Structure 1
């Protein structure tokens, strides 16, 4: 059952990770003028707000570069210090064991992430695995996000343990660019595998169950409650149309989204949704067209997916329908848009 706090924070993230991304991007040559007009950045210094998830996805696009492929993930976490990710960080210091900390981190992942994202734990013969179930797997930057999350978990877990933890295994959805040695050095393990749907990191049983040096059950309970309350009390920096876009974006998943489906996400009737769109000077059809156009352009410019795959992922009936749409939008076909290079 979806609670009111989840509805209020849907389509938003805390500003903490976005700050680290921007600092790392600036250190690697990001032109700050490219950030003009990106929603939510004006309040990025405030801890008590939630910015649109679309904002951090846009920041991922802007920091992407060959230099980022080589060292971006490690650069982000070199900037990290306990507290840089808010109260979520401290869940790793007061818990009884690394396993306890990971469970607390998964329960309170919305303190730093979109509520649609999840951390899922499980045990097998190798140890305790924590996997990231992200809600934007079709986004061109998902591979970079999938590389960062296991490293982030490894970094904060090691800080809580007071020693570098060497995982048994790391799994990524796909092989990133760069030499294999980079990943072995990044994750401190020779077992970096490229299989499965979700990125994950597996800790040995001994590491997962080893008591943490600063374990404090009473403090751990207080921190969890603080994480829950501060997330619920945070102010979403969203206008109504921003909330609509945040609900519409994940609704496209290989098929045309229905107006009723998005209205339900916004806790309103489809008639109310249509009326609110008219008041904003737009319509359902226009907004769906704009979203499809943005997504198609992004995938053509920034990914190697075929036109057929892009058509399927954006909800077109077939590749011919997509080609007709691209001609309508730009006056030329997908090949010319792809040849124009990354966005």
Structure 2
């Protein structure tokens, strides 16, 4: 267990990361559906090498959530997360799958999923909630992230629990209830079909699944006590540091603005397009968060400048290029404001 002091929480922020296998499985599905791989990785910000097999790399969680938005937009399907979950293959997220599949029962497997979730992500939590003699609820929480990427990641995460379970159990298994934090979609027939229940709630305080105690006690046909012991011992030595603080939608917006500055395309319309929003929708989201386009652009520019200035003074032309200004005087005035 990682304990973070109040002082550390105020002054240190560890970036949330995900195992590259998470965005990898989404991107591969999108490529097999006909989307262009280089465009996908460029738009999502996930490295191109993430499409190939390799070591257990980790990527920023912002890239994983962005990948969901990009893929949904490219496929043109609001059920993209469920379609990808239905094609789940045991082992696609590596160690995490085998920790689950070697457990003796479904309940033990889910408990291990919560304990060793860090094997695939530091951005999510899976913890037991309400428990009765008949059922147990598991709550899924996210540290960093908002918007559609969060919704799709939650859909896939909950759906994957059951598509994975059905691969290693004899007979059907379905949740007692499902709860989503997101607002109700216009149609959720696909959710009912995948989960095998129409007991699905929306607008809940947290994303969660409720499983009967009878199902939790059912054995997994892939149980392997010796291998389970080895894997758990190994997993305990590889748990990454948990981020002590959350970020917000405005932090995500800042990353998008910074990427736009990198490519010299930083107008409100261009950034809205990168977020797959209309200009009006972006301005509405800004208002909902008590900020403005000008404020967030200024904040992103200042952050880029302060990060670059650590390595030494910048010339006026370097400042202008870094901050996306055509006019050297505008860049100079901006820097002088921040230094006052």
Shorter chain as denominator, the TM-score bin is: 0.5 to 0.7
Q: Is the 8 A contact 1:30 1:62 kept in 2?
A: no
Corresponding residue of 1:265 = none
User: 2:127 is matched with which residue: 120, 124, 127?
Assistant: 120
Q: Against the structure 1 CA distance between its residues 305 and 191, is the aligned structure 2 distance closer, same or farther, given a 3 Å change threshold? A: farther
Superposed, 1:177-326 pairs within 5 Å as: 177=185, 179-230=187-238, 250-252=246-248, 290=258, 297=272, 301=277, 307=283, 310-311=286-287, 313=289, 318-319=290-291, 322-325=292-295
CA distance in 2, matches of 1:122, 1:53: 25
Q: Against the structure 1 CA distance between its residues 123 and 249, is the aligned structure 2 distance closer, same or farther, given a 3 Å change threshold? A: closer
Work out the number of aligned pairs and report it. 279
Q: Is the 8 A contact 1:172 1:194 kept in 2?
A: yes
Q: Shift of the alpha carbon at 1:2? A: 3.1
Q: Shift of the alpha carbon at 1:111? A: 0.9
Corresponding residue of 1:42 = 49
Q: Shift of the alpha carbon at 1:153? A: 0.9
Corresponding residue of 1:23 = 28
Q: Shift of the alpha carbon at 1:3? A: 6.9
Q: Shift of the alpha carbon at 1:210? A: 2.2
SS at match of 2:68: helix
RMSD: 4.0
CA distance in 2, matches of 1:112, 1:182: 26
Corresponding residue of 1:267 = none
Corresponding residue of 1:102 = 110
Corresponding residue of 2:329 = none
Q: Shift of the alpha carbon at 1:9? A: 8.1
Q: Deviations over 1:197-242 (max 9, x none)?
A: 3222211110012233343333322222233335559xxxxxxxxx
Question: Is the deviation greater in 199-208 or in 25-34?
Answer: 25-34
Corresponding residue of 1:91 = 99
Q: Is the 8 A contact 2:38 2:48 kept in 1?
A: no
Unaligned runs of 5+ in 1: 234-246, 257-285, 331-343
Based on CA coordinates, which of the two structures has the bigger radius of gyration? 2
Structure 1 length-normalised TM: 0.67
CA distance in 2, matches of 1:198, 1:303: 30
Q: Shift of the alpha carbon at 1:309? A: 5.1
Q: Against the structure 1 CA distance between its residues 134 and 69, is the aligned structure 2 distance closer, same or farther, given a 3 Å change threshold? A: farther
Q: Against the structure 1 CA distance between its residues 191 and 287, is the aligned structure 2 distance closer, same or farther, given a 3 Å change threshold? A: closer
Q: Against the structure 1 CA distance between its residues 127 and 91, is the aligned structure 2 distance closer, same or farther, given a 3 Å change threshold? A: same
Q: Is the 8 A contact 1:83 1:89 kept in 2?
A: yes
User: 1:60 is matched with which residue: 46, 68, 73?
Assistant: 68
| Residue 111 (str. 1) matches residue 119 (str. 2) | yes
CA distance in 1, matches of 2:174, 2:296: 48
Unaligned runs of 5+ in 2: 5-11, 302-323, 325-340
SS at match of 2:128: strand
| Residue 155 (str. 1) matches residue 163 (str. 2) | yes
Q: Is the 8 A contact 2:126 2:139 kept in 1?
A: yes
CA distance in 2, matches of 1:196, 1:167: 16
Structure 2 length-normalised TM: 0.67
Q: Shift of the alpha carbon at 1:253? A: 7.0
Corresponding residue of 2:333 = none
| Residue 32 (str. 1) matches residue 37 (str. 2) | yes
CA distance in 2, matches of 1:142, 1:78: 19
Q: Deviations over 1:214-273 (max 9, x none)?
A: 43333322222233335559xxxxxxxxxxxxx89944478x9xxxxxxxxxxxxxxxxx
